[in-house]
A and B are shown apart, each in its own frame.
Chain A
């Protein structure tokens, strides 16, 4: 992992490692295929809407748009399976194999390793949500200190993960309906179509409202967070969203004296205005 130093300094500003190039490429493929899938799927779901024929004709209308949809669906399914293998590979190579080498791998350690991965939801997430609600409702002036992956990011990860299982497999069966109905009754297709299109609407709204708010429209990042391109997060956002992890990383790097005070909000108070850069 030396390829990616934990802290990079550019023009005197600290940037914190978040995503490897591999992960960024995965996100890029995910983002592009999802956008194309939504653009070629929603006109069908809302085929009686006035905008539907115009949007659909941008992708070649009924003759070609379904092909665009299927090609993107196939790429996304490919990415999904790649990601599963990637997860297994990374967890084995960086978490299980080192334990094995030390001879410390006990019976349930493998399971424990999987369950304590940084993307797996835990109790802290529940407390963080509770504390965030307190903060948002003006009940306290302290924002919860986020870990390396906050509950928002876990939500952003697991929602599309579940979505891809539901939408992907229902889409695949609907695509090869002649093959699958050799065994399954045709009535199953009714349910798969509902699941495919309703879950897709949920996923699209989730991504374009919630995810885009967090990474594009929120005042902290507007017009766009750059971590998905560079893989590194600015110190300001690191303090705002991942304070607990920030402190750990800074200590590890021997930069205790440079640790900024918590919670973006505090730093803008007039008497502390000059303290941050």
Chain B
């Protein structure tokens, strides 16, 4: 067969396209869709306008869902009110429900109920120690104010630490473990948990949804728009450039070894940022190991604000005046110099 060079290239290109397309269409299908919910929910356009007039999208992207921590949970494990197809509008998911997953170390049914007890005693609990509702209790967060459907964020450690899955490591898992699903799931779970599932920018943006809301800050008598002032520090700025090595809100506000749901008020003697404990916050092995407790007196949440940080306010003000006072006259001279060059010999005074 005599094929011209152009034809050959054409065939090679189209074959490569076919191969690429077939690879991209491959999906690892191990979602626990026993109820066959994807029969309808696989369609990207599946949506409706709800009673409050909001557009609701009900499409489930299977490949994304399979990369999430809930991939093994049956749909009806969380949507407990759905028992038939087609179903009526579903209730909001209660994260504290017991699902069919077994917690392997205790072999009990899995639930997030413990988190609720942590939250109750933390600064984010909506009731006080005596069980009375706090002021503006509706402002306090529930699970889904901070969490969305979390995705795996695996790490490879084989030769160096990098994001993603190491095929070489998977090969080692296969020596003992036979089920691909299990290996994939376990690898993802463990390596995702060895670091944060969200970067400092994501975390701070999540906290900022409430803590940068001026009316909420005022209602609760907070001293700062916390994420805004964090954003003024090197840590916050580095976070904005997607640095993952800098501390986010949780690193300082939660004692090491405790759940982030156990965050306490700075007035609580057990809090990591209480006056007596604050000194240890910066000097951890991962951050500033050689630092003295004095480093922690740095004003992380200082703002350019006369009532909150008056000395700093006037100090900044001095530099603003200095900058304006230096540059404006000089720019004035430049401007006059440019005008002068139009008529270099003219004068309204006595000619010399």
Q: Are B327 and A209 in contact (CB under 8 A)?
A: yes
How far, in whole Å, are A266 and B346 apart by their CA atoms in the complex? 11
Within 8 A of B (CB), among A8-63: 43-44, 47-48, 52-53, 56, 61-63
Q: Are A139 and B243 in contact (CB under 8 A)?
A: no
Given the contacts A178-B291, A185-B294, A190-B298, A142 and B352 also touching, CB distance less than 8 Å: yes
Given the contacts A48-B240, A178-B290, A205-B323, A139 and B295 also touching, CB distance less than 8 Å: no
Among A63, A135, A190, contact of B302 (Cβ-Cβ < 8 Å): A190
B5 within 8 A of A: no
List A contacts of B345 (CB < 8 A).
141, 265-266, 269
List B contacts of A189 (CB < 8 A).
295, 298
Q: On chain A, which size bracket covers the interface? A: 35 or more
Q: Are B297 and A186 in contact (CB under 8 A)?
A: yes
Q: Are A268 and B294 in contact (CB under 8 A)?
A: no
Say how far A166's CB is from chain B's closest CB, in angstroms. Answer: 10
Q: On chain B, which size bracket covers the interface? A: 35 or more
List A contacts of B86 (CB < 8 A).
none
Q: Are B319 and A181 in contact (CB under 8 A)?
A: no
How far, in whole Å, are A190 and B348 apart by their CA atoms in the complex? 52
Q: Are B237 and A136 in contact (CB under 8 A)?
A: no
Among B319, B339, B348, contact of A194 (Cβ-Cβ < 8 Å): B319
A66's nearest neighbour on chain B, judged by CB, is B238
Given the contacts A191-B312, A198-B319, A201-B323, A136 and B291 also touching, CB distance less than 8 Å: no
List B contacts of A179 (CB < 8 A).
290
B316 within 8 A of A: yes
Q: Which of A44, A135, A178 has the most CB of B within 10 A?
A: A178
Within 8 A of B (CB), among A239-277: 264-266, 268-269
Interface membership of chain B positions 305-319, coded 1 if the CB is closer than 8 angstroms to chain A and 0 otherwise: 000010010011001
Q: Are B312 and A194 in contact (CB under 8 A)?
A: yes
A118 within 8 A of B: no
Within 8 A of A (CB), among B148-195: none
Given the contacts A62-B243, A198-B323, A191 and B315 also touching, CB distance less than 8 Å: yes
Given the contacts A186-B297, A186-B298, A140 and B349 also touching, CB distance less than 8 Å: yes
A190's nearest neighbour on chain B, judged by CB, is B299
Q: Are B344 and A265 in contact (CB under 8 A)?
A: yes
B336 within 8 A of A: yes
B299's nearest neighbour on chain A, judged by CB, is A190
Among A136, A177, A264, contact of B295 (Cβ-Cβ < 8 Å): A177
How far, in whole Å, are A51 and B303 apart by their CA atoms in the complex? 24
B130 within 8 A of A: no
Q: Are A202 and B327 in contact (CB under 8 A)?
A: yes
Say how far B35's CB is from chain A's closest CB, in angstroms. Answer: 44
B237's nearest neighbour on chain A, judged by CB, is A47
Among A61, A178, A184, A193, contact of B288 (Cβ-Cβ < 8 Å): A178
Among B233, B236, B291, B327, contact of A206 (Cβ-Cβ < 8 Å): B327
Interface membership of chain B positions 215-251, coded 1 if the CB is closer than 8 angstroms to chain A and 0 otherwise: 0000000000000000101101110111100000000
Given the contacts A138-B346, A191-B315, A194-B315, A62 and B241 also touching, CB distance less than 8 Å: yes
Subset of 17 A-B contacts with CB under 8 Å:
A44-B234, A62-B242, A132-B333, A136-B333, A138-B348, A141-B349, A183-B294, A190-B302, A190-B312, A195-B319, A198-B323, A202-B322, A206-B327, A210-B327, A210-B330, A210-B331, A265-B344
Chain B contact residues, CB within 8 Å of chain A: 231, 233-234, 236-238, 240-243, 288, 290-292, 294-299, 302, 309, 312, 315-316, 319-320, 322-323, 326-327, 330-331, 333-334, 336-341, 343-352
